[in-house]
Structure 1
Amino acid sequence: MGLFGTSGVRGVVGEELTSEFFLELGMALGTCLPVQSTVCMASDPRLSKDMIKASLNAGILSAGVNVTDLGVLPTPALAFLTRKLDCASGVMITASHNPPQFNGVKIWDPSTIGYSREQEEAIEKVYYEKRFRTAPWDSLGQVTTNVTAREEYFKAIEKIISVKTDLKIVVDPGNGAASQFATDLFKRMGITVLPVNDEPDGTFPSRPSEPRADTLVKTIQYLKDEKADLAVCFDGDADRVVFCDEKGFLGYNEMIGFISYLVAEKASNKTVATTVETGRLLDHAVAQAGGKVIRGKVGDVAVAHLVKDYAACIGVEQVGVYILPEIGMHPDTLYATLFLLQNMEHPSEIRTFIHSLPEMHFEKKGIECSNDKKQNVMKEVESVIDVLEPEEVNLLDGIRLEFSDSWLLIRPSGTEPLIRVICESESESKMKTLINKGKTMVENALQKVNP
């Protein structure tokens, strides 16, 4: 089994992930990079960040590669600065939306795209064969600290976009990497900001690091109490963002649909890139701008390559990932938020637009499944899917079944020990029927694999 999932290396610290593991991962990464090249490194505020950083640093330096420490930064800033600082790679220490006991590493190349599977396989080959390059004492890498990284990102954003709005915006980083970063950037852009959960804290004490309707109840109440217009809510490393208004959570497919529509409306190439997890609401939204949607594998790296290959105007994932090529090929939730505020007079426009589209019913369930059993479970599921009589079967990433008015996806998570069952339908009753059938299929397959 490889080291990397759909979003880098990830696991529970002290169990799958140890200091010894990160030392050798750093040695493997350093071996794959040119001698005396430079890696920039940042992290979210998780408590394990210092241990992981020290271990990675030791491994990278031993291979004769330098490290520039950028401190705690959101993933969008780290990815952008990998190119801006002319680094050979960017290393982000984060477990994104996972709970605080998790951590991991995601690696970016100078194009601002996360490492491809081929690049990851090169690291895995060195790691498993233990063929590490060891630099002599006078060629070891050195660590430097960059204290201007935050300012460099802010200045770059200011050159690309300006925002004029009278809206009052609640910013909720959830004590993650965007704490005291998003607020400062938005204030600098002239936006009225009301921060909440804005102190970096790797235990995520205020709410879970994944922003969802059920974890943002207090944030929505704060928005109402302060008579604010919109809440912008980030996950642990700010590679995902969701939005709320006075009526509540604005939805995942709804917001990627609205923002994609705004982007496509202005673009010459109106192609929007996404994944097999994304619903048809996006297609309806983009069609309003005369655009079309292309789908590929799950993960921002796969979406970035679709954006690049098809010259798409935007790449999105249903969970709140936004890739806008004018800033880079990485998820940049900060820039996406600024684009939204630049092109919207009032949040009521979002619900008005969504209500103009065909009504779609969407639901996602997760069934616990250990990583070592996922492949066998999926084989069992694939063997029985014909009983659902799908019109089309897509095996690009998981099993996506297409019906005239619905679709069902069964797919192993690349970041958690889960198999996800996702369904969307024009009919709420059909959606519930299909998703329950999919869930039962997975549960039955689990019993066969693990009697």
Structure 2
Amino acid sequence: MGRLFGTSGVRGVVGKQITPQLVMDLGLSLAAQLGNSGTVVVGRDPRTSSDMLEGSLISGLLSGGCEVCRLGVVPTPVVSFAVRMLRAKAGAMITASHNPPEYNGVKLFDASGMAYTPVLEGRIERIYSGRKWRQVNWDEIGAVEELNVLPDYVGTLAGRVQLTKEYKVVVDCGNGAASVVAPLLLREVGCKVISLNAQPDGLFPGRPLEPSPENLTELCRVVRSTEADLGIAHDGDADRVVVVDEKGVVVPGDEILALVAAEHLNREGDKMVTTVDASNVVEEVVGGRGGKVIRTKVGDVSVAVEIRRHEASCGGEPCGAWIFPRFGMAPDGLLGALKVLELLNTSGKRMSELLAPLPDYYMLREKVPCPEDRKAKVMALVSKRLMKEFSEATGVLRVDGIRVNLLDGWVLVRASGTEPYIRVTVEARTPGRAEEILRKATKSVKRLL
């Protein structure tokens, strides 16, 4: 399948890019990278292929001399938590996050619970491509231990939150891994909980896994009809959180990220990290609290790397993947939900009241289909094309893809690291201008295909 790792681990369609053999060899490669010893924590989401791939991954790890702690169906952040709690050498989560049910993949975590960096992924790539692993003798094969860490995880998170009000919360688990934790966790912190799609089901019949506004219409309706204080939605592995206000309106990811990050600042001049595709509202809100915003590549591992480098208080992506380093270095949608509740509780306001003063920005996103083998060529040519199309540009940022800053907005074009698309994101002060920028940008990209 060419290069193994994308923006968020190894991912693809089962039976095509992702096969049992590939995952077993990946397990062998991970074992070799770990020195053919040590414990690896393994979790999975409820996809129909996850059981099969879990067996393949564990087979590779065991035959490579590692011990395995099998968690079963858990959210991705629970794997990160368990690695730290058990002092394991590494962790592996079998998931394709928000992708459709035919997809699956593997995401790796180091001993600190942070996702593997590109440097570590490169080591795995070299071992895998060169088949430089070692299968141990029969009397050195590792063992498997079954462990339920969910009570520890829930207890630890719940112990960090003290709410003075009973909030009514509607939580949409999307039939994903959040189903085994989210309703319980919210009740544990004193919320009155209404659950939607809270039965793990690998076909994900309740709604598509991407927690986008068009996929959350039922959640919005239930929030309104039950007069709930808040709606919460998670993706397939619950490393992301999306918020619905008390009026049943999906809160833009950039705006809730800005509010939570500003609330989380420890002191004047404190830093937070976000990605190149986040709205300018983040700078305005965080800067208004005396904080500094650092931008990096799209992907939670890029955010985590910069958080560590700059000793930032928090970081996150507009998609709802937020990292709070005082708890852990992996994105945690369940912890994110608690942070939103803390924000409501501290402010004493409704979500819509917190959002009302924020400046108006209009962001549009479009995915342009592009075969994997064409991405590099398109991205090599798109910079010159965009600069010609937007001659009024005030600056260019090449942290990830190309972002062209304009007097009244910006446009970002980047290749997806998880899907066969070129992603186009634009922002402007008015809807009409945003549509105009998007139209010109997508036209430029399509001309290159």
Query: Aligned partners of 1:158 and 1:358: how far apart in 2?
Result: 33
Query: What does residue range 298-313 of structure 1 map to in structure 2 within 5 Å?
Result: 298-313=298-313
User: Within 2, Cα distance between the matches of 1:140 and 1:180?
Assistant: 32
Q: Deviations for 1:104-143, whole angstroms, at most 9, x for unmatched residues?
A: 0000112121001111111110111111111111111111
**Given the alignment of the two structures, is residue 419 of structure 1 paired with residue 422 of structure 2, yes or no?**
yes
Post-superposition offset of 1:36:
2.9
1:404 to 404, 407, 410: 407
Q: What's the CA shift for 1:349?
A: 3.9
Q: Distance in 2 between matches of 1:409 and 1:254?
A: 18
Aligned to 1:392: 395
Shift of 1:229: 1.3
Q: For residue 165 of structure 2, what is the aligned residue in structure 1?
A: 165
1:139 aligns with 2:140: yes
Distance in 1 separating the partners of 2:175 and 2:248: 24
> 1:145 is matched by which residue type in structure 2?
E
Q: Tell which deviates more after alignment, 301-310 or 346-355.
A: 346-355
> Aligned to 1:358, what secondary structure does the other structure show?
coil
Shift of 1:347: 8.7
The residue aligned with 2:342 is: 342
| Code of the aligned partner of 1:84 | M
- Over 6 Å off, 4+ runs: none
Secondary structure, in 3 states, of the residue corresponding to 1:356? coil
Matching residue's letter, 1:175: N
Write the distance in 2 (CA, Å) between the matches of 1:180 and 1:58: 26
Q: Is the contact between residue 90 and residue 113 of structure 2 (CA under 8 Å) also seen in structure 1? A: no
C-alpha distance in structure 1 between counterparts of 2:419 and 2:435, whole Å: 24
> Which position in structure 1 is the counterpart of 2:283?
283
Shift of 1:384: 1.7
Q: Could you tell me how far apart the structure 2 residues matched to 1:336 and 1:165 are? A: 18
Deviation per residue, 1:36-79 (Å, 9 max, x gap): 30000001100000110111111111110111100000111111
Within a 5 Å distance, the mapping from 1:144-159 to structure 2 comes to 144-147=145-148, 149-159=149-159
**2-structure distance, mates of 1:158, 1:365:** 38
| Residue type of the alignment partner of 1:411 | R
- The match for 2:431 is 428
CA deviations over 1:205-252 (Å, ceiling 9, x no partner): 000011111111111111222221111100000011101122411111
Equivalents in 2 of 1:356, 1:159: separation in Å?
32
| Structure 1 match to 2:258 | 257
State the match for 1:73 in structure 2. 74
Counterpart CA distance in 2 for 1:90 and 1:53 is 13
Please state how far the C-alpha of 1:385 moved relative to its aligned partner.
2.1
Counterpart Cα distance in 1 of 2:435 and 2:349 = 29
Which residue identity does 1:323 align to in structure 2? I
Shift of 1:268: 5.4
5 Å-filtered alignment, 1:19-30, equals 19-30=20-31
Matches of residues 15-414 of structure 1 in structure 2 within 5 Å?
15-147=16-148, 149-245=149-245, 246-264=247-265, 266-267=266-267, 270-345=270-345, 349-387=350-388, 388-389=390-391, 390-414=393-417
What value does the CA root-mean-square deviation take over the aligned residues? 1.4
Distance 1:53 1:347, change over 3 A: farther
1: CA distance, partners of 2:115 / 2:259: 25
Letter in 1 for 2:165: T
Bigger mean CA offset, 6-15 vs 177-186: 177-186
Partners of 2:95 and 2:291 lie apart in 1 by 34
Secondary structure, aligned partner of 2:187? helix
Taking the aligned partners of 1:167 and 1:159, their CA distance within structure 2 comes to 17
Query: Displacement, 1:29?
Result: 0.8
Residues 220 and 357 of structure 1: CA distance in aligned 2, closer, same or farther (over 3 Å): closer
Size of the aligned set, in residue pairs, is 444
Match of 1:449 in 2: none
> Structure 1 counterpart of 2:417, which letter?
G
Distance in 2 between residues matched to 1:221 and 1:374, nearest whole Å: 39
Q: CA separation in 1, counterparts of 2:94 and 2:267?
A: 34
CA 267–85 in structure 1, closer or farther in 2 if over 3 Å, else same: farther
Inter-partner Cα distance in structure 1 for 2:178 and 2:167: 20
Contact kept? 2:169, 2:228, Cα under 8 Å: yes
Does the residue aligned with 2:445 lie in a helix, a strand or coil? helix
Measure how far apart 1:353 and its partner are: 3.3
Once the two structures are TM-superposed, the CA of residue 263 in structure 1 deviates from its matched residue by: 1.2
Which deviates further from its counterpart, 4-13 or 308-317? 308-317
Secondary structure of the residue that 1:248 maps to in structure 2? coil
What is the SS of the residue equivalent to 1:290?
coil
Alpha-carbon distance, 1:339 to partner: 2.0
Distance of 1:125 and 1:414 partners within structure 2: 19
Partner Cα distance (1:167, 1:90) in 2:
34
What is the SS of the residue equivalent to 1:344? helix
Question: Runs of 5+ in structure 2 lacking a partner?
Answer: none
Shift of 1:348: 5.4
CA distance in 1, matches of 2:364, 2:348: 24
Structure 2 CA distance for partners of 1:347 and 1:4, relative to 1, 3 Å: farther
1: CA distance, partners of 2:206 / 2:348: 25
Q: 1:173 to 1:313 in 2, by over 3 A?
A: same
Q: Report sequence identity in percent.
A: 37
SS of 1:91 mapped into structure 2 = strand
Question: Does structure 1 retain, via aligned residues, the 8 Å contact 2:158–2:185?
Answer: no
Residues 424-450 of structure 1: CA distance to partner in whole angstroms, max 9, x if unpaired? 11132221111111100110011xxxx
Aligned residue among 441, 444, 449 for 2:447: 444
Farther-moved stretch of structure 1 (150-159 vs 107-116): 150-159
Mapped to 1, the partners of 2:359 and 2:20 lie a distance apart of 51
